[in-house]
Each structure stands twice: as structure tokens, then as C-alpha cells.
Chain A
Amino acid sequence: MDDQGCPRCKTTKYRNPSLKLMVNVCGHTLCENCVEMLFVRGSGNCVQCDTPLRKSNFRVQLFEDPTVDKEVEIRKKVLKIYNKRDFDFSSLREYNDYLEQVEDIGRGTDWGRPPETEVYNLTNNLDVENTKLKMEQYQREHRDLIQKNKATLTREQEELEELLLLEQQGNEQRRLDVLQDEQRQLQAKRKNKQALLDELEQSQLPATILLAQHKVRAAQLETQIEQQKQTVKPTNLFSTGIHMRQTVSLVAVPKVEDVLFHYKPLHVETYGPPVPELEQLSRVGYLNHVRAAMPQDTAGGYTSALACHRAIQDAFSGLFPLKG
């Protein structure tokens, strides 16, 4: 489930599965303990690639593969700058080209690159500088556009959040209502019981009648509760969002009338005289002329009628010449 353990203390991961892994800018993992250890000593270099690090650069790892985390970080940074939307472009082709451009830039800063080799290291460094320059240039050019897009983005996010909030509130409300109902029911039951006790104390009537009355009242209460449960608050919205009483036009399905099916038993042309049924054979006397079935044969379900029937069938099949 988890990678291979923290590269510094190696063992701690296995012993303590709840320990979290932190990822830094260069994409290498370190468990929480090791991060603290590293910065206590004051030296801030990554264990594997020796890049100088700051403690703030460590983020809690969300993904199993640290490279994915690294890519996610870079993507966030890049997209903060390159945040044009699809309606900013006049055609789909332009939008796609823009997206490709963004990806290339991302690749320049090394997201999703294969594991490092010497060559890639070199190109990586070159590219990083180049792309950083590119990014800064782009930022300067499209400063206004970036700002505007940021604004729209935040607005959308706010709207979404509002909707979510509304929904949550609705849920809460419903939950409270249900709780209140239950409470009321409990109270009613308790009152009923109390009333019975009081009556038993005070009234003159015999106990059995009182008990009977109490039972009746309890039953009535139950039915009341049941009914309340049944009455669903009428809504005016289907779950898919269609309003009720909204007429949806349905073309009447044409009625298909077909000929009624009549069963006709299967008739096989044997080109010969009719063969007696299997069950009739013994009655007519065929079985007298066939070797009787021995006990070993009957065990498997064989009867002499089977062999006799087969012989007769074969004898009669195709016996008559074809007409014409």
C-alpha cells in the first residue's frame, strides 16, 4: 500500500502506517519525523538529489506516487498564470493549440518526466530556465487577461460554494425536523402512560375497563404516527430537476396488431408408414419378439421398448417411394 518506506529512516514507515509522507519540490518523499530531523540540524538539502530546500516547501503527500504530487504542484503553479478559458478563443482548434502549449511548458518544468538520467538532467536544467523565462514573459503580456480570468474563476467557485451551502442547510433542516417529530411522539406516549396511572389512582371504574380504554388510546396514537410518517411533504420537483406538472409531450405509441399465434404440433415427414408410439409397443405385442432387457440393462434406464421402437422407426423411415 505504501511505497517503500521513507528513504532516510527506512523502517519507520512499516512500523507506523499512520505516519504521513511529505513531498517537496524535487519530488522526493520524506516522512514527517525525518523532515523535522532534517531541519533541526539546520541543513536543508534533499537526501536523494541534494537540492536546497525550505521547510515550507514540504506538503503532505496526497498521492501514492510522489512524482504525481510533484506534477500536481507544478500544474497548479502554471495554471495560475495560464488560465484562459474555452470561451476566450474563437475556435476549438485555437483552444486545443493553447492547451498543448500549456502542456509543453509544464513538461519543460518537468512534470511527468521519466526518472532522471544524466541527459535528462542536463536538458531539465536548461528547460527549466527557458520555460521560466517564457512564463515570465507571458505573465507580463497577458497581465490583464490573467486578472480577469482569475476573477471569473473565483466567482464561479463562490457560486458553487453557495449551492453546496444551501444543500447542506436543507439537509440539516430535515434532520432537525425528523428529530423533533420523534421527540413529540415519545412525549405523547409518555403522557398517555402517565394518564393511565393517574386514572387508575383516581377513577371509580374497574381496572379492566381502564386498561381497555388505555389500549384503545394507544392504538389510536400509533395509527396517527403511522399516518404522519406516510404523508410525504409534497414537492414540486422531480429528482432530475424537472418541475412537476410540466407537460412532456409523448407521441402516442402506435398500437401493433398482429396475427394471433396458433400452436401447431410438429409434423415430421418420414416418407414411410406411421410408426406406433413407444408406449403402445407392448400393448400391440411388439415386445414379445424383442430380446428382453436384463437387470443390468434396466439399471441404466434401458427398456426393450427403446430398441424395438428404434428398429421399427428405421424400418419404416423412407420406405415409400417419393411421389412424382
Chain B
Amino acid sequence: MFHNSSQRKYWIFKSEDEVAHMRRKANQKFRNKIQESGKSAVSDSMFLERHEEDVLFRHYERRLLDFCNAFKPAMPKSVVGTALMYFRRFYLNNSVMEHHPRTIMLTCAYLSCKVDEFNVSSTQFGGNLLHETPAGQERVLEQILEYELLLIQQLNFHLVVHNPYRPMEGLLIDLKTRYPTLENPESLRKSADDFLTQAAMTDAGLLFPPSQIALAAILNSALRASLSMESYLTECLGLKEDKDSISKMYDSMRRMKTLLKKYELPKADEVNIYKPRLERIHAQFASSSNKRKRGYEDDSHVAKEPRLVEEFFLNLLNLCFVPGMDG
């Protein structure tokens, strides 16, 4: 359950500032690493700034969402939620400059299928990479397998993610059973669902417990439909005397709403500026970070020549390069 999960202990942070600070640290760490290794022709302007990284992050996040939604067979919502959470957690402690988001995003989806027991064989998974030739799919799969261990390590082996979808169902059941004042809770379901999908694209999952997110979704949709649900909190959840908790909960919901409002879709032209820079960084520092990509010690039977990887990468990126294919 959530209350004794690793998510509550290690992956719920106190404020948006803390989260931003962690991302800044990851960015800085990468810069220091490259500068210490003393590569020639390194200038500060080459590196991506925080807001530029953010744009790219959101762009690839959206692509992950589209990939999961277009997945055959249909991916359950919890698997999508888990994949997005993995993606988000990974880039809390690592910079996009260090590990390219495209492979990481596919690895997140692959790992999430495994963890959430949505059984997809690797060939089936590869079959979903529609804009690749079968040979290309094979290579992408190999890449995914190489990155898998790294991803798990960076998640600190905390693989169980609690998503807000089941709490939302639970709240709806509770509303129907114990709160007759509200006539038709089912009407709230659709907009609550949308709220949750939007919330998955924000940092809400890193700041609030999933049950609170679900409650915020339901209250929000009730507000939209101009239905009052004040008494639910006081009566059914037993918070009549606890004014403090009620005010805190309203506060959290307000914060969540702000987060959702702040989210903006990545603009295509911005993405087109930052992406080439990202590719250049990867191309330049790929050889140094090649060993890191392995995620484990040099295994002679898994070894791939670095050149092959670079080439492959450039091919991939050329495909992504084509304007209009970006989501």
C-alpha cells in the first residue's frame, strides 16, 4: 500500500523548489563531468540550460505518452502512468545531455510493462516501433536492453509506483455508497480522468500522494459541474474537527491546480532549436559516455563497438530530424 511504500519514503518531495533544485544539480553534475574530463573545444554555450532541458523533457514525455497510447495491445492506464513516472524520476537525477531521452523513454515503457505485469514480449514491443525497419527494431531493442539496468539503478531499484487511477475508482465507490447528496458521481468520472492524465505530465506525482491527486481530480470536476462537495470532506472522511487538515488539503489541491495550469505544450520551433544542440552534445561526448550506457561492467559478450552505436544513433536522430514527425 502507499503508506508503507518506497514511493512515499523516497520519491515524494516537499516542494516544487526541491524538485527544481535536484534537476539543477543533475545539470551541473554533467557539466562538471565533461569539463573535468578535459575534452577539447568545450564551451559553456554548448551545454543546454535548465529551461531548454525542460522543453526537451516535456517534448519526449509527450512522445512517450503518444507511444503508449498507440501501443498494440492496448496498454492499461496504470502501465502508462508507471512509465511516465519512471521517465520523470530518471531525469530528476540525470541530465538529458547525458542519456538521450529517446532510448530512455522506450526503456521506461518496456520496464513498466514488465513491472506492472502487462506481459509483452520484446518482439511484440519492437513491433510497435512503427517507423523502423525490422532490422532497425532489433537494434532499438538491443539498445533498450542495454539501458534497462541503468534505468533500474537510477530509480534506486524502487520499481513499484502507485498511480492515482485506483484511488479515483475507490473514491467514486465511496461517494456512491456513503454520500447520497451527490446524485450522480459517474458524471464526474470523465473530467476527473482528464485531470489525472494532465497531472501525470506534471510534477504532481513527485509532490503529492496519489490518493490526494485523485481527490483533487474529483473535487475539481465537481467544481466544474458546480456541484458542492464540501460536506464530503467533513462528514465522510471524518475531518469535522480537524480544520487544520482540511485547510492543508485545500492548499495542496490549489497547488496541484497551479501545476496543471503552468504546464504548457512544448512549442515546435523551440524544440527544433534545442534538439540539434542535444544531438551535437551526444555525438561529441558519446564515446566518453559509451561505457556508462552499458549500465554494467564490461561484458565481453555484450560489447558493441562504440562506432556502431554512434552511427546508429545518428541514423535514429536523422529520422527524428524530419520536421512534422515531432509530436
Residues of A within 8 A of B (CB): 268-274, 284-286, 288-290, 308, 310-321, 323
**Chain A residue at minimal CB-CB distance from B7:** A318
Bound CA–CA A320/B169 (angstroms): 18
Bound CA–CA A316/B215 (angstroms): 10
In the complex, are the beta carbons of A320 and B170 less than 8 A apart?
no
In the complex, are the beta carbons of B167 and A269 less than 8 A apart?
no
Interface of B is mostly: helix
In the complex, are the beta carbons of B3 and A288 less than 8 A apart?
no
**Chain A residue at minimal CB-CB distance from B165:** A314
| Contact pick for B177, options A272, A284, A317, A320, CB 8 Å | A284
Residues of B within 8 A of A (CB): 1-4, 8, 162, 166-174, 176-178, 209-212, 214-215, 236-239, 244-245, 248-249, 252
Residues of B within 8 A of A289 (CB): 172-173, 176-177
Bound CA–CA A285/B177 (angstroms): 6
Residues of B within 8 A of A321 (CB): 212, 245, 248-249, 252
In the complex, are the beta carbons of A317 and B3 less than 8 A apart?
yes
Given A286-B177, A288-B177, is A311 in contact with B249 using a C-beta cutoff of 8 Å?
A: no
Residues of B within 8 A of A311 (CB): 166-167, 169-170, 173
| Contact pick for A318, options B174, B176, B211, CB 8 Å | B211
In the complex, are the beta carbons of B238 and A314 less than 8 A apart?
no
For A274, A311, A313, the residue with the greatest tally of chain B CB atoms inside 10 Å of its CB is A311
Instruction: Pull 22 A–B residue pairs with CB atoms less than 8 Å apart, ordered by A.
Output: A285-B177, A289-B176, A289-B177, A310-B170, A311-B166, A311-B167, A311-B169, A312-B170, A312-B173, A314-B1, A314-B2, A314-B166, A314-B167, A314-B211, A315-B167, A315-B170, A315-B211, A316-B211, A317-B3, A317-B167, A318-B209, A320-B249
Bound CA–CA A24/B249 (angstroms): 101
Residues of A within 8 A of B212 (CB): 318-319, 321
Bound CA–CA A320/B251 (angstroms): 12
Given A314-B1, A314-B166, is A319 in contact with B211 using a C-beta cutoff of 8 Å?
A: yes
**Chain A residue at minimal CB-CB distance from B215:** A319
Give, as a whole number of angstroms, the nearest-CB distance from B234 to chain A. 12
Give, as a whole number of angstroms, the nearest-CB distance from A291 to chain B. 11
In the complex, are the beta carbons of A272 and B214 less than 8 A apart?
no
Bound CA–CA A317/B171 (angstroms): 11
Residues of B within 8 A of A272 (CB): 3, 211
Residues of A within 8 A of B244 (CB): 323
Question: Which 7 residue pairs spanning A and B have beta carbons closest together?
Answer: A315-B170, A318-B209, A311-B170, A321-B248, A289-B176, A317-B2, A315-B167
Residues of B within 8 A of A288 (CB): 176-177
Bound CA–CA A315/B212 (angstroms): 8
In the complex, are the beta carbons of A315 and B238 less than 8 A apart?
no
